[in-house]
């Protein structure tokens, strides 16, 4: 059964009264608890609902070409963005994790926060349909949609264009280290350009580490 604080949290941020409590509990439950129902299937669904909701908003509110729309969409629905919004609304304390996952910092993991955020969107979709889930997304993403997320050139694209413009070889990315448990992995990536230099970054996913490494390279050499 949902406790009072979590029920109020769901109503506040989904705009809907939970009817099937087991559904919402599953959306908040990490596999480390050992419970059969967890957020994984709901996260799969919520990810698609989020993508469609944001894509529709972009189509309605922007005259940009397909390439720029895709760039913004990818940034707006990224794991990092989902996790940031989850932190902004205080999702962490309502998540249900096993002791080991908690001890490993799971309550502040981008991977887990992002997945649970999408699972809650999935739960809203199942109980109330797409219009309600879309309204939930637009409410939670209001400031992000109106801001500059995804408007600037992606760091990896910027680095590739910089290398080409300066007649350098294309950037090479190398996984230096992977550490931590599966649910809270940390990836260290190095990017290098021949005869220029290299830069490293560490993040919760290999993709994010590559992005941050490219950004650090441009800060140092660009």
- Binding site residues, as ranges? 43, 115, 118
Q: Tens digit of pLDDT per residue, the chain (222 long)? A: 899 999 999 999 999 999 999 999 999 999 999 999 999 999 999 999 999 999 999 999 988 888 888 888 888 998 889 999 999 999 999 999 999 998 888 898 989 999 999 999 999 999 999 999 999 999 999 988 887 665 556 788 888 888 888 888 999 999 999 998 877 889 999 999 999 999 999 988 888 899 899 989 988 887
Q: Is 47 a catalytic residue?
A: yes
118, 190, 208, 210: the active-site residue: 118
- Binding site residues for Mg(2+), as ranges? 43, 115, 118
Q: Among residues 1, 5, 4, 38, which one has the least CA distance to residue 20?
A: 1
Q: Is 108 a catalytic residue?
A: no
**Full set of structural domains in the chain with CATH:** 4-146 (1.10.1520.10), 155-221 (3.30.160.20)
17, 35, 47, 56: the active-site residue: 47
């Amino acid at each position: 059964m949902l406790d009072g604080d979590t029920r109020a949290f769901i109503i506040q941020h989904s705009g809907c009264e939970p009817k099937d409590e087991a559904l919402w509990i599953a959306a908040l439950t990490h596999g480390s608890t050992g419970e059969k129902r967890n957020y994984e299937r709901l996260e799969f669904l919520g990810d698609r609902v989020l993508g469609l909701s944001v894509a529709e908003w972009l189509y309605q509110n922007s005259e940009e070409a397909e390439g720029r729309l895709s760039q913004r969409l990818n940034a707006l629905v990224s794991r990092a963005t989902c996790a940031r919004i989850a932190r902004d609304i205080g999702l962490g304390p309502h998540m249900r994790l096993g002791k080991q996952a908690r001890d490993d910092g799971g309550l502040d993991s981008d991977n887990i926060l992002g997945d649970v955020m999408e699972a809650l969107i999935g739960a809203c979709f199942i109980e109330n349909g797409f219009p309600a889930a879309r309204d939930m997304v637009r409410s939670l993403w209001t400031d992000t949609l109106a801001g500059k997320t995804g408007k600037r050139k992606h760091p990896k694209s910027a680095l590739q264009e910089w290398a080409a413009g300066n007649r350098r070889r294309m950037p090479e990315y190398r996984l230096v280290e992977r550490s931590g448990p599966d649910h809270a992995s940390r990836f260290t990536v190095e990017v290098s350009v021949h005869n220029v230099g290299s830069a490293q970054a560490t993040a919760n996913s290999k993709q994010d580490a590559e992005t941050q490494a490219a950004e650090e390279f441009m800060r140092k050499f660009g």
